[in-house]
Structure 1
Amino acid sequence: MHRRLLTLLAALPLALAAAPSTQAAGPAVKANGFYVDPDSSAKRWVAANPNDGRASAINSSLANTPTARWFGAWSGAVGTAAGAYAGAAAGAGKLPIMVAYNVYNRDYCGGHSAGGASSPSAYAAWISQFAGGIGGREAVVILEPDSLGDYGCMNQAQITERQNMLTGALSAFARQAPNAWVYLDSGNPGWADAATMAQRLNNAGLRQAHGFSLNISNYFTTAENTTYGNAVNRELSARYGYTKPFVVDTSRNGNGSNGQWCNPSGRRIGTPTQTGGGAEMLLWIKAPGESDGNCGVGAGSSAGQFLPEVAYKMIYGY
């Protein structure tokens, strides 16, 4: 089924391709593309600043590219918010990309995006509401960016706690959102070696997920991520007897990485959201122009804040 589906999608123009077909449960074939968030930070900025000299470029290059909607404490009643977003996408006949970003002790070691649910039990309730909001609708869901890379300052009890939260989240999606393809985030090629990440993924319940995600909010090239994803799969196969498809965040990787992760200068947007391209899908998950935190060319900003000058320069790579 999966091989036949990829053949079908390969025959479609990239701009029209969407998510692959069902396996036991998952998004059906859609030939009319991914959902463009009508309330993205880029769209809001363009609407509020139509006479700004940067508005035309930001509108054409960023605001109309399908990009993930992130959900966290700021989303309010997350079941209602997720349901409204997935419902709007379904009504438009498009496939939404949604990010769950609320794990307890989120960004525990990095700090710029620290926060999340108040306890593991609060997270379990939140993720259940998230999954329930999607319900039977089709969606691509990225589960907890950075959660398996952010181990450097954590003790074993905290690591086990996080793994259990992620395993529980995957179980909730399997029960409550059977037509969502859920990708467990696995960091990027510069964070942990493939063997280490394969172990972390497996211990966090990857078998229940559709696949894993790479490069979220980072800058490594698609080729580097594809090499790394394939290496992770070799380790999964050798150690645990299975492999999974993976997706790559290409939103800001057009110039690759300069070794910095927090608002580095000189980065560029990458391949727009599509199927294929070396991974199962290339997706814009981190919105270009949204700050990584109070650092780099985003000094004085907070994580997630839209910075029009950064966005504008990222279009042209300077």
Structure 2
Amino acid sequence: MTAASKTRRVAATVAAATLSLAGVMAGQVAHAANDVLDPSTELFANPESTTLEAAQGLTGQARADAQLLGSFPSADWFTKGTPLEVEAAVAEVVASADATDEVPVLVAYNVPFRDCAQYSAGGATSVEEYKGWIDGFAAGIGTSDATVILEPDGLGIIPHYTTLDGNTEWCQPEELDADTAAAERFEMLNYAVDALAALPNTATYLDGTHSGWLGVGEITDRLIKAGVEDADGFFLNASNYVATERLQKYGTWISDCIHLSQGSRWEPSWCASQYYPANPSDLSTWGQSDAAYDKAYADTSMTRNPAEQAHFVIDTSRNGQGSWTPPAGFLNPLDWCNPPGRGAGLTPTTDTGNALIDAYLWIKVPGESDGSCYRGSSAPHPGDQTADPAAGQWFPEQARELIALANPPIAAPTCHVSYTVHGSWREGFNTQIWIKNTGTEPVNGWELEWAFHEKETIQNLWSGSATQQGAYVEVDNLSWNRTIKPGQQITLGFIGETNGSPVTEPWLFTLNGAGCTSD
């Protein structure tokens, strides 16, 4: 099914509910929902993600890499459309996540002049258009569980913004009124926070940049202006490469700075940061800023309380090797745009072991390009004469590096699935599935899972025990075929009913929860 036809189908089912849902929202008080992400939360891996879609046009190692990365939960990005269109698109993802009792991560990325019209240019054309789009986005979530990453770079890059130290930042579009542009950005983000906070089961996080960018006081001031007190907190490192240990400290300092600034006479500009008293390039000095916060709490007679403080999530999609240090001679390194030699970081989880960190997420979809730049330079260098794919397009070479250099390592798939439709008729089809153990250890007991694209249902399955909920299918072994030895393959099959939809091949198969390669 094409994206357009999916949108039309979902739009028809959700449009009627929009007005009634909006009425419910209007009567609710904005509140934070930190319990949406707890250590037991299962994050949603979309079986129709852009990663798995990219895999359909690839072969060999590149296809296997996309399938492997697509087997992990990553965010679904929403970047355009009318209010009705974004409502339908969000509702489709949320409904799929509901069917698996998992929580989707949704990125709202449509603020006017996003990325200051650089590689990821686009967005709504006015304040009112953006507010309408956010209303549609929120209506698509409704009462379902969801986590929203609200506008990456939305607080890091603000048009015509004056910092705490009185400097006007570089983003100064001529099309915008310099006197109102920054205020409008905060107006839109506050509106979005309120709309999402009114939902009963949605956690919302604002842009907290990263420790290689804004100082703690500067981003704290912006977060407060954007309404962080009504959100669940902030996100760090979206689409960047900073090491997790640096972000853990940076995020903790921001949470402390917000807490101090909102709970006492403290001012954000007084907050210690990675720049002072710490030395940003020497992690061993960052304890000096830790000590400065201890003193600030003592001076204000306040006490840290993770239950009251802003929480945060960290994008670990590409930070396994940390940030790239350009070699000498790169005049304009663009170290944020597809830097070479990077690896994936921690795989997504809500079990962080830290009361302030709600999750490690893959916000930026690993394997998708940052922009049509040259790897590590603003102009071609020897050995690198081809521009990278446009922002958001699949980048096979980068995907390979992210897997090969992942830290912690990402295990290679140990299963391969072949899915063959032997025949179809008006209302049915006949399918055979082969499962091969490509690992070195026997599989003792198996559970194969996949999701249909359309309305297909299993009517009669042999060599396994099947259950189906909506599009999602789970097949468990029988007593006689529970073991699959290394190099061995087993087969099963089923008669399916089309229910009026085309017969298609699933994009993702998992065996005992781990992704398999497939033909």
TM-score for both structures, normalised by structure 1: 0.86
Taking structure 1 as reference, are residues 112 and 212 closer, same or farther at Cα in structure 2, changes over 3 Å only? same
Q: 1:229: Cα distance to partner?
A: 0.5
Of residues 145-154 and 121-130 in structure 1, the stretch that sits farther from structure 2 once superposed is: 145-154
Larger RCO, structure (CA 8 Å, separation 6 or more): 1
Q: 1:37: Cα distance to partner?
A: 1.4
Local SS of the residue matching 2:346: coil
- Give the whole-Å Cα distance in 1 for the aligned partners of 2:341 and 2:67: 20
Aligned partner of 1:112 in structure 2 is 119
Does residue 274 (structure 1) correspond to residue 345 (structure 2)? The answer is no
Q: 1:28: Cα distance to partner?
A: 7.6
Aligned partner of 1:8 in structure 2 is none
Local SS of the residue matching 1:288: coil
Does residue 258 (structure 1) correspond to residue 336 (structure 2)? The answer is no
Equivalent runs, 1:22-33 vs 2, <5 Å? 27=36, 31=40, 33=42
Q: In 1, are the aligned partners of 2:197 and 2:203 still within 8 Å (CA)?
A: no
Equivalent runs, 1:65-84 vs 2, <5 Å? 65-73=72-80, 77-84=85-92
Q: Which amino acid aligns with 1:249?
A: D
Q: Which amino acid aligns with 2:118?
A: G
- Give the whole-Å Cα distance in 1 for the aligned partners of 2:111 and 2:41: 33
Q: 1:41: Cα distance to partner?
A: 2.6
Aligned length: 293
Aligned partner of 1:93 in structure 2 is 101
Aligned partner of 1:35 in structure 2 is 44
Paired-residue identity, % = 38
Q: Give the structure with higher Rg (CA).
A: 2
Does residue 167 (structure 1) correspond to residue 163 (structure 2)? The answer is no
**Unaligned 5+ runs, structure 1:** 1-21
Taking structure 1 as reference, are residues 212 and 156 closer, same or farther at Cα in structure 2, changes over 3 Å only? farther
TM-score for both structures, normalised by structure 2: 0.54
Aligned partner of 1:207 in structure 2 is 229
Q: In 2, are the aligned partners of 1:33 and 1:94 still within 8 Å (CA)?
A: yes
**Unaligned 5+ runs, structure 2:** 1-30, 159-168, 173-177, 264-307, 326-334, 376-385, 407-519
Larger fraction in strand:
2
- Give the whole-Å Cα distance in 2 for the aligned partners of 1:216 and 1:116: 18
Give CA deviations for 1:45-79 in whole Å, capped at 9, x if unaligned.
32333x4133324322x110100000011687001
Larger fraction in helix:
1
- Give the whole-Å Cα distance in 2 for the aligned partners of 1:134 and 1:262: 32
Taking structure 1 as reference, are residues 312 and 142 closer, same or farther at Cα in structure 2, changes over 3 Å only? same
Taking structure 1 as reference, are residues 25 and 235 closer, same or farther at Cα in structure 2, changes over 3 Å only? closer
| Correspondent of 2:142 among 131, 135, 146 | 135
Taking structure 1 as reference, are residues 178 and 201 closer, same or farther at Cα in structure 2, changes over 3 Å only? same
- Give the whole-Å Cα distance in 1 for the aligned partners of 2:34 and 2:218: 29
Aligned partner of 1:10 in structure 2 is none
Local SS of the residue matching 2:180: helix
- Give the whole-Å Cα distance in 1 for the aligned partners of 2:89 and 2:236: 25
- Give the whole-Å Cα distance in 2 for the aligned partners of 1:317 and 1:295: 22
- Give the whole-Å Cα distance in 1 for the aligned partners of 2:191 and 2:94: 22
Q: 1:38: Cα distance to partner?
A: 1.4
Q: Which amino acid aligns with 2:196?
A: F
- Give the whole-Å Cα distance in 1 for the aligned partners of 2:317 and 2:179: 33
Aligned partner of 1:229 in structure 2 is 251
- Give the whole-Å Cα distance in 2 for the aligned partners of 1:160 and 1:24: 27
Q: In 2, are the aligned partners of 1:32 and 1:93 still within 8 Å (CA)?
A: no
Q: 1:117: Cα distance to partner?
A: 0.4
